[in-house]
A and B are shown apart, each in its own frame.
Chain A
Amino acid sequence: MHHMLKISTFLVAGFCTATPVLSQAVDFSNKRVEMVITSGEGGGADTYARFMGEVISRELPGQPTFIYRNMAGGGGIMANNWFEANGTPDGLIIMSMTSSSIMRPVFGKSEDYKFNASQWIPVVTSPNGYVAVGSKVANTMTMESILAQKVPLATGMANVLGTGTMFLLSYEMLGVNVKPAFNVSGGDSQLSFQRGEFALEANSVGSYHRLSMPEVEKGNVAPLFVFGNRLPDGSLVRDETLPNVPTFVEVYEKIHGKKPSGPEWVAWNALFDAVATNAKTIMLSEGTPENIVTAYREAAKRALTKPEMIASAPYKNILGTSPQFFGDDASKAAQDAVRQLNPEVVTWLKKWHQDQYGVPLQ
């Protein structure tokens, strides 16, 4: 029950502890800031980190040069462990992490994780929206045609643990019979989907706009539902950029005639807050003094709230349209996610996954 301990420390320490010291002016002139990235070069997490690094560096006092340390391996564990061991509380070594750093320690072998993410201090958290997409070739353009199908529908998932878990749970709750192929990269899976090999595809909202939308316009594929965005009161609403696409909850109510409930709904929400709300986060080391934390948080907020920035192509390409969480809101988002992934939920999810797909969730 090692993860129980870990979770309780999450709760106590709580992601927002900035050591208070006398406020001094922060100046990063002629400094190099090193950003640790939890993946190799290329791909979504890397592009996100480099984009954030460049925009934040231009707003930090003294405009430091950002350099990037890519550490692939173990789904981010290598980078997380390295950051825990080498991160410095001076804002000169920072990290860009993904939800995998929250999920893996909870589900995986605890001895591999030599870090405690709850001690790190979030600067900005970037949620990700997700869309389920069906195709004409596979006759999966509407929920009705999907539910009418007799054979299981094939779909590609990037990992065993992560966003795919969310989609699988969603399909299961809607009564859709799916047959997942795990460890299919996003690009491979999208191409197989367009070939008609996979009947259902899981897109982030960003890749949906970029890769699937042109096919939607041609009538070859169609969106089925979005997970939605979490409002401060806890409710889930449609994605602003896809106003005509219903949320998962809406589709559920239409099919079952009632609101979702029970242990699977608890698990769904826990997964949602872990993988969608906390998709990516920029982190500072444990014990970073308040003046540096504030400098970072303000720089990120200044950089990412300018109207011309939000309207720019790189911003749209990389951050999409989900609202960003700055400062204490980012801390709260992480706390919420970790609190919900309690031992009961984790046990339930592991058993469900093993029973359903014969593959351990880890």
Chain B
Amino acid sequence: MEVISIIGSTFINLLTTDTLLFLILGVLVGTVIGILPALGTTAGMALLVPFVYGMEPYHALAMMTGLLAVVSTGDTVTSILMGIPGAASSQATIVDGFPMAKKGEAGRALSAAYFSSMIGGVFGAFILTAFLLVARPVVLAFGMGEQLMLALLGLSLVSILSGNSLLKGLIACGLGMTFGMVGSAPASGEFRMQFGGSTYLTDGLPLGVVALAIFAFPEIINLLRRGSSITEQPIVKGGWAQGVRDVMDNFWLTIRCSAIGCLIGALPIGGSGWLAYGHTVQSSKDKSQFGKGDVRGVIGPEAANNADTGGSLIPTLIFGIPGGGSAAIFLGGLLLIGFTPGPRMLAENLDVTYTIIWCVAIANIFGAGICFLLSGHIAKLTAIPFSYLAPFMLTIIMFGAYNSTRDWGDLIALFSLGVIAIYLKRFGYSRPAFLIGFVLQNVVESLLYRILQVYSLESFFSRPIIWVLIGIVVFSLVIGLRSKTKVETEGMAHEASATQIMPQVAFLALIMGFLVYSVVDVQNLVFLAKVLPIATSVMALTLCTLGMVILLRRNPQSAFFHDGELGWKESDEGYEASPFHYVWWMMGFLLATYLVGFLIAIALFYFAFMRIKAKAAWWSIALMAGCTLLVLSIISYVFLVDFPTGILQDFVWMPWPFGR
């Protein structure tokens, strides 16, 4: 009873004091940071810290919680409108969100996303309230083995995300896992696949860069080639009301995905958006529209990623141990303002804990409300002719990638993986499967290694939850394999795919070459550091060989044949340029950056591109380039981002922000 009175009194305190104003301030900052591409919770929290130290602790607490709770609401914007993942949490939203924007339904997608985010966030807060005092045994019940099974459940989603060819999905997943092994091995800290040894790769490829390269890069190239606006059809009016109705029609789906988000958020696994997406597809009767713009594909992941934030606070508040990256920053902030989250705070300062929870709930409502009001206007962006939008989008993905580790390596990795992604898309290798493999490789390998150190076979299989989860994984696989309609994310194959096979053979041979390299590279490492890379590569190589046999035997019935680029000139999508035309443009941009630095290269790119491709007036180009440079300079000043300088800056002194 005492607990209930604390829950009530903290709520009243929050609403009746000026703490609420600080909460709203946090929500505003969080929403703006969320909407701004390439900036997430980390950037927002880092921005607040200098102010919170020395502030009235409850004010600081409300402000930080407000920010934490809403960033994943705002970062949906670029995912849906442009196919650019705003943060790790909104990757799965792209699969259906971006096709909706292409169909002119951006408003509906955004409003469904915000409304389900709100429900997810509030649900997360509700779960926190209801179970906080009893959740301890639940978190402790999910040990290494149980976490491994959840990660495997994530991997099993490849079966539904492979499009027409499961074989290709598995190859893509294996390739993603192999890229995930770059960096130091969990078992020994030894470095793997350093491609000749650069410090950049010692920590592995950053997820942010990989997600941008895999999803955004090929889409931007294709949009450029089509030369129109993002929407292929007129913008649908009244979409926002439809979005709300969509969520209400799928209310239980929203709740189930929120629960998934909450559970995954509480465990150090990640990928809650993907698991929610998988559940959404598997539990839907009509699967035919997934990957082509089914609104349920937006609702599921968005509900999950806001509930994830609530879930990640469970271990933070109960054990004093953060459940993820953004919870870690939040925990640091709490320590700075003098709160000590953990069992003691839970026992002695329950009011602090419940203030945090209330803040999460209220912030989610405000955050979704603000985004909701903006969504109608933001959706109009999709109608802007693409040649005007393109330089801006290119700036976003370049900046977003560079912001990952602020190293030249980010840009090189973005470009190289981006080119690989173009071919993955062209030949129908599922890019979501690649990304899931990349994300979960590290989790699976670390957990396997730890389990080997800790468990015996007998003790491992004597844990009942493991058996339940094995059952769920098998169930998920069976549903995935038996379902006739698969989520197709890579577009249609050209009808000549089965006769003109050389490009497909060449690409598959390159994949095999890379896999062989990965096996050779790890030969001299400690056994535990090389066993999983070798196993993965050998399995992937076997699948590739199988694929190669199918290709060379030319059985035209096989779904393995897939080439979306044969005869692109007469393609339905109406491409105006060859696939590589715009890759050269991007190459040119990188070269310009190398010569004259990032900011000047951006200005040059605006002028060159908009003059040649859009035939825009000089003054309008100057205005757009000027605005972009101004925004980038402000970001550079506030968040301390130094843009890459070029050879020019080595010889000629230039004022900030062009030089250093």
Contacts and interface: CB of A to CB of B under 8 A. Distances in A.
Contacts of B381: none
Given A73-B203, A190-B321, A211-B321, A43 B188 contact: no
Contacts of B328: 41-43
B547 interface: no
Contact of A183 (B186, B319, B335, B340): B186
A191 B455 CA distance: 16
A89 interface: no
Contact of A68 (B268, B330, B406, B640): B640
Given A112-B199, A313-B340, A359 B188 contact: yes
A41 B45 CA distance: 9
B46 A70 contact: yes
Contacts of A77: 199, 202
A39 to B, nearest CB: 10
Contact of B344 (A46, A214, A312): A214
Given A195-B143, A211-B320, A360 B190 contact: yes
B50 interface: yes
Contacts of A118: none
Interface string B157-188: 00000000000000000000000000010111
A317 to B, nearest CB: 4
Contacts of B455: 197
A41 B189 contact: no
14 contacts: A42-B331, A47-B336, A50-B49, A51-B336, A68-B640, A70-B46, A71-B406, A160-B188, A181-B449, A195-B143, A211-B321, A213-B344, A313-B338, A358-B526
B268 A214 contact: no
Contact of A313 (B50, B54, B339, B527): B339
Contacts of B527: 358
Given A210-B342, A211-B319, A211-B320, A47 B347 contact: no
Interface string B312-332: 000100011110011011111
Nearest to A43: B328
B139 interface: yes
Given A66-B50, A194-B140, A359 B189 contact: yes
A68 B187 CA distance: 32
Contacts of B326: 42
Contact of B188 (A34, A69, A215, A360): A360
B450 interface: yes
Interface string A185-222: 11110111011011000000000001101110000000
A314 interface: yes
Contact of B319 (A51, A67, A156, A194): A194
Contacts of A312: 338
B503 interface: no
A116 interface: no
A52 to B, nearest CB: 11
Nearest to A50: B49
Contacts of B282: none
Nearest to B143: A195
Given A43-B332, A187-B268, A192-B143, A68 B526 contact: no
A187 B315 contact: yes
A187 B321 contact: yes
With a 10 A CB-CB cut-off, give which of B315, B321, B326, B338 has the most chain A CB atoms: B321
Contact of A190 (B319, B325, B329): B319
B453 interface: yes
B320 A73 contact: no
A191 B450 CA distance: 13
A182 B188 contact: yes
B454 interface: yes
Counting from the closest, the 6 A-B pairs by CB-CB distance are A42-B328, A313-B338, A42-B329, A187-B321, A47-B332, A214-B343
A7 interface: no
Contacts of B325: 42
Interface in B382-408: 405-407
A74 interface: yes
A184 interface: yes
A73 B202 contact: yes
B42 interface: yes
B505 to A, nearest CB: 39
A299 to B, nearest CB: 16
B5 to A, nearest CB: 24
B144 interface: yes
Given A42-B329, A182-B187, A187 B454 contact: no
Contacts of A182: 186-189
Nearest to A188: B268
Contacts of B322: 42, 187
Interface string B15-47: 000000000000000000000000000100110
A78 interface: yes
Contacts of A192: 143-144, 450, 454
B199 A73 contact: yes
Given A74-B202, A191-B315, A67 B50 contact: yes
Contacts of B42: 40-42, 70
A103 B45 CA distance: 30
Contacts of A41: 42, 45-46, 328-329, 332
B53 interface: yes
A90 B280 CA distance: 57
A209 to B, nearest CB: 9
A154 interface: yes
A362 interface: yes
B615 to A, nearest CB: 42
B588 to A, nearest CB: 28
B649 interface: no
B342 A211 contact: yes
A180 interface: yes
A345 interface: no
A188 B315 CA distance: 10
B632 interface: no
Contacts of B446: 183-184
Contacts of A55: 53
With a 10 A CB-CB cut-off, give which of B200, B328, B449, B526 has the most chain A CB atoms: B328
Nearest to B331: A42
Contacts of A198: 454
